[in-house]
Amino acid sequence: MRKNITPQTLQRLPMYLNYLKSLPKNSGNVNISATAIAEALNLNDVQVRKDLASVSRGGKPKVGYVTEELIGDIGQFLGFENKTGVIIAGVGNLGRALLAFDGFGDYGLNILAGFDENKDIAGTEINGKPVFSVSELKAFCKKENVKIGIITVPESAAQEICDIMVSSGITAIMNFAPVHLIAPESVTIKNENMAISLAMLSRNFQ
């Protein structure tokens, strides 16, 4: 039931899913209402009701949703049940931390491997994930049909890595390097700049 979902709804759905999965599996949680979810997450309950109705038909007046069904519906909508392969280019401080983080699996993402130009880093493993030479990136992505890449190389190398990713068939890039990347329109680039986020946060206190 893919209705017109707003980006805001899309951003809230993983939050609902996380919360529902965190609930203890006991008789008190067999059903859950949009109001209870809204209260737990400090959100507007009309908004939550609308969000849930856009991905699940399971809601019943006075009863709410069967929790497990709702988890299934949101997960299916987000495609989190089908694991999507992701690679990381640049296995330094940040790339290493991302490779070591197991939480991506909860969102249907599977970090398959890291790639680095440093010969001392390529050939190692982090958290059971192999790190290869960047020269192997293209062949790996083609073989594994990887469509998502994360860039954690220095600013000076980011465009070159972006170009390699695009030529490898990657169509979505999360870029941590503080640089504006140029890519074909068909490629989605999401820039993650922690410094800007922090600066914006600090503005709220001034």
Which stretches of the chain bind ligand NAD, using CB under 6 A? 89-95, 115-118, 121, 134, 152-155, 157, 160-161, 176-178, 194
Which residue lies nearer to ligand NAD by CB, 32 or 162? Answer: 162
Alpha carbon of 30 to those of 46, 106, 117, 139: distances in Å? Answer: 22, 21, 51, 47
Exposure string of 30-56, with b = 16+ CB inside 10 Å and e = fewer, is ebbbbebbbeeeebeeeebbebbebbb
- Measured in whole angstroms, the distance separating CA 124 from the mean position of its chain's CA atoms is 25
CB of 188 to ligand NAD, least distance (A): 19
**C-beta closer to ligand NAD: residue 66 or 183:** 183
Ranked by CB distance to ligand NAD, the top (closest) residue is 92
Q: For ligand NAD, give the closer residue by CB, 111 or 121.
A: 121
48/166 with CB nearer ligand NAD: 166
Closest contact distance (angstroms) between CB of 137 and ligand NAD is 8
